[in-house]
Amino acid sequence: MREQGFLGSDGVGLVSRIVREGLRRFPALEGHDPDDVVQEFFFDRIQAMTAMLLAQATSDDSFGRLVRRSVQNWIIDQARKTGTGPLRRAIEKVLDESPQFERVPTGLAGAGRWRLTHTDGEPWGGDTGQLIAVAWAVPNVRVPKWSSSSRRPPVADRASLVAIAHAILQQAGGSLETAQLVHVFSQRFAASLDPIVVSLDERIDEDPDEDGAGTDLPSETASPEEAVIAESVALDAAAAAAEVVGRLSAVERAIIPVLNDSAAVRERLSLGRSQSALFTSTLKAKIRALAGTGEDRDDIVRQVIALCGGPAAS
């Protein structure tokens, strides 16, 4: 690549394989044709990635790490573009079929919005953070058992969705647009959604460490076989942690660095002791569920904490 100034056939083949491997780690992109994804990656990133590799890659190992990081960040961005259509349809179905809710009739302020049946409050336009906190405070939310091997997030049952929607609209004291409800639910149930519904500001750094060795480098004393295994395990854990962070809401990510400090949690949530404790216990259970049950679970959890601004993973 350095001699030619471009990847060449071997480089293209290697990058294509890495994109296909990365695609399998993101269930939000399930169903996408791998060939199409590879082509999209080259269209979007080939020039910038080639320039980055020419400037930063100093060996075959660093070349591989830089490519994997570039591919992973790009795939995260694609996963975030998948939309919230399924969530919107689920919410509208619950609201349509439940007698507790109704649309504001035509001719009234907020026509077409949702409100509690037999109420006449004005269209709500306050801070959605208040509604998100109330949604989190609803007790006894039931989540069907989830198989971590499929890496599919849990989804609350119908009764829980009804209870949360009722609490949200009651707190609003007026009517809400479907988009506002979708936003609140997306923050409350970020683990069940495509990553687009939450912000993923903490991207994996595409620059190598100052000493030229990334944190995923194997030990210098490891055999070639052990080095390959160690790098693969580290990459899988990093990818899993990045995906978990992508499924956390902004509120959740703000709480993780102080998760074991009850006073700090109450201050950041602006909630009372019992509601903050419920939020904390629910968040801990959610992180454990998303981290799965594999041998790398503890490593994934540590990296999630680090990505959210907590102590660095060791």
Q: Dump pLDDT digits (tens) for 68-118.
A: 888 877 876 676 555 556 677 788 889 999 999 999 999 888 889 999 999
226 or 12: which carries more pLDDT confidence? 12
% of the chain beyond a pLDDT of 70: 72
One domain, residues 75 and 94: no
144 or 93: which carries more pLDDT confidence? 93
Q: What confidence score (pLDDT) does residue 294 get?
A: 63
Task: Write 10-19 long-range contacts (CB < 8 A, 24+).
Answer: 12/42, 14/64, 14/67, 15/41, 15/42, 15/49, 15/67, 15/71, 18/67, 18/68, 18/71, 19/71, 19/75
Q: Cα separation of 161 and 179, whole Å?
A: 16
Q: Cα separation of 103 and 40, whole Å?
A: 42
Domain with 25, as residue range(s), is 1-79
Task: List the structure tokens of 253.
Answer: 């990510």
For residue 2, is pLDDT > 80? no
103 or 178: which carries more pLDDT confidence? 103
One domain, residues 67 and 153: no
pLDDT band at 231 (very low <50, low <70, confident <90, very high): very low
Is 146 part of any domain? yes
One domain, residues 72 and 100: no
Q: What confidence score (pLDDT) does residue 169 get?
A: 96
Instruction: Report how far apart, in Å, the C-alpha atoms of 248 and of each of 2, 245, 272, 287 are.
Output: 40, 5, 22, 9
One domain, residues 32 and 124: no
pLDDT band at 26 (very low <50, low <70, confident <90, very high): low
Minimum mean pLDDT range among 17-21, 86-90, 195-199, 277-281: 195-199
For residue 195, is pLDDT > 60? no
What is the pTM (predicted TM-score) of this model?
0.42
One domain, residues 103 and 184: yes
Q: Cα separation of 284 and 259, whole Å?
A: 8
160 or 153: which carries more pLDDT confidence? 160
Tally of structural domains, the chain: 3
Q: What confidence score (pLDDT) does residue 208 get?
A: 39
One domain, residues 267 and 223: yes
One domain, residues 11 and 70: yes
- Residue 150: CB atoms within 10 A of its CB come to 10
**If you average pLDDT over residues 222-242, what whole number do you get?**
51
Q: What confidence score (pLDDT) does residue 32 get?
A: 75
Q: What confidence score (pLDDT) does residue 172 get?
A: 93
pLDDT band at 49 (very low <50, low <70, confident <90, very high): confident
One domain, residues 92 and 176: yes
Give the mean pLDDT of the chain: 75
Q: What confidence score (pLDDT) does residue 204 get?
A: 37
Is 278 part of any domain? yes
With vertex at residue 201, the alpha carbon angle to CA 288 and CA 40, rounded to the nearest 5 degrees, is 100
**If you average pLDDT over residues 284-305, what whole number do you get?**
78
| 234-256: burial string, b at 16+ Cβ within 10 Å, e else | bbbbbbbbbbbbbbbbebbbebb
- For residue 120, what is the DSSP state? -
169 or 238: which carries more pLDDT confidence? 169
Is 209 part of any domain? no
Is 211 part of any domain? no
Is 241 part of any domain? yes
pLDDT band at 164 (very low <50, low <70, confident <90, very high): very high
Q: What confidence score (pLDDT) does residue 314 get?
A: 42
Is 30 part of any domain? yes
**If you average pLDDT over residues 118-139, what whole number do you get?**
88
Is 207 part of any domain? no
Is 204 part of any domain? no
Q: What confidence score (pLDDT) does residue 55 get?
A: 82
Q: What confidence score (pLDDT) does residue 80 get?
A: 56
One domain, residues 124 and 181: yes
**If you average pLDDT over residues 265-283, what whole number do you get?**
86
